[in-house]
């Protein structure tokens, strides 16, 4: 059984949303699920942004991202925000869920969401902060996704125990961990619900919250 993985950089992964960036769009194919990223560590120039938009408008990408804000990025925050807002506009125009990379700029993400009022589902991947922030994001209708650290980080385990399954996903990101190990830990934290059932819940949750599978416009 291939378990649904919300965000991975492993291009051989099955039943996973594979992160491509503008430099490896040639890897897109119909056999797998892909998201197209515009990472805050790199600013897309006009040509690259045009390619980005053309990719999203012409191919059936499952999601957009990772895109977002990062306090450690060398790119000026105002430029990061400018790029992020352009990516949000593309996500809204082409009805694609948005997978968000956020390091230390959660207030900005929340404020942007409040001001732009996007309709597409927003998912913050690799969430590793406090439960208070997790709850705040969920109350803003932002979903979370947890990676390998769920297997050992008590703080994150407590969060998973206390939030509803409809509010989060699981992911491997760039780690070599087997997604199954993350599912097994999640199962343990959620009254031993079996992983096949968990897989179904996360898959359906993604389907119900996105235009996944719908023909691209």
**Helix, strand, or coil here: 65?**
strand
Asked if 5 touches Zn ion (CB under 5 A), the answer is no
Provide the edge-to-edge strand list for the sheet that holds 168-170: 5-8, 16-20, 33-38, 63-70, 97-103, 122-124, 142-146, 168-170
Q: Minimum Å distance from CB 84 to Zn ion?
A: 16
Considering the complex, state which of residue 119 and residue 137 has its C-beta at the smaller distance from Zn ion. Answer: 137
Considering the complex, state which of residue 17 and residue 119 has its C-beta at the smaller distance from Zn ion. Answer: 17
Q: Can the peptide bond before residue 66 be classed as cis, meaning omega within 30 degrees of 0?
A: yes
Q: How far is CA 69 from CA 12, 26, 135, 154, in A?
A: 27, 26, 20, 26
Considering the complex, state which of residue 70 and residue 173 has its C-beta at the smaller distance from Zn ion. Answer: 173
Binding-residue total with Zn ion (CB under 5 A) = 1
Considering the complex, state which of residue 182 and residue 215 has its C-beta at the smaller distance from Zn ion. Answer: 182
Q: Which of 33, 173, 211, 212 binds Zn ion (CB under 5 A)?
A: 173
**Do 121 and 148 form a contact (C-beta atoms < 8 A)?**
no
Q: Minimum Å distance from CB 71 to Zn ion?
A: 17
Alpha-carbon distance 183 to 192, whole Å?
Answer: 10
Helical pair 106-116 and 131-139, crossing angle rounded to 10 deg: 10
Alpha-carbon distance 197 to 125, whole Å?
Answer: 22
Scanning 145-153, 171-179, 184-192, 208-216 for contacts with Zn ion by CB under 5 A, the matching segment is 171-179
Site string for Zn ion, 47-86 (x = CB under 5 A): ----------------------------------------
Considering the complex, state which of residue 25 and residue 193 has its C-beta at the smaller distance from Zn ion. Answer: 25
- The residues of the shown chain that bind Zn ion, judged by CB under 5 A, are 173
């Amino acid at each position: 059984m291939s378990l649904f993985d919300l965000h991975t950089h492993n291009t051989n992964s099955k039943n996973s949303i594979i992160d491509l960036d503008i430099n490896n769009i040639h890897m897109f194919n119909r056999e797998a699920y892909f998201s197209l990223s515009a990472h805050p560590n790199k600013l897309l120039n006009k040509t690259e942004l045009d390619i980005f938009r053309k990719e999203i408008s012409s191919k059936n990408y499952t999601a957009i991202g990772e895109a977002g804000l990062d306090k450690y990025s060398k790119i000026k925050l105002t430029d990061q925000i400018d790029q992020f807002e352009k990516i949000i506009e593309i996500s809204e125009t082409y009805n694609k869920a948005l997978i968000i990379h956020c390091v230390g700029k959660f207030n900005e993400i929340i404020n942007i969401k409040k001001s732009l009022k996007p309709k597409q589902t927003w998912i913050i991947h690799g969430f590793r902060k406090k439960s208070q922030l997790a709850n705040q994001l969920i109350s803003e209708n932002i979903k979370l996704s947890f990676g390998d650290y769920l297997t050992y980080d008590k703080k994150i385990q407590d969060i998973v125990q206390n939030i509803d399954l409809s509010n989060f996903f699981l992911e491997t990101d760039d780690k070599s961990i087997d997604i199954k190990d993350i599912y097994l830990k999640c199962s343990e934290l959620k009254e031993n619900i079996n992983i096949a059932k968990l897989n179904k819940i996360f898959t359906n949750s993604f389907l119900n919250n996105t235009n996944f599978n719908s023909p691209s416009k």
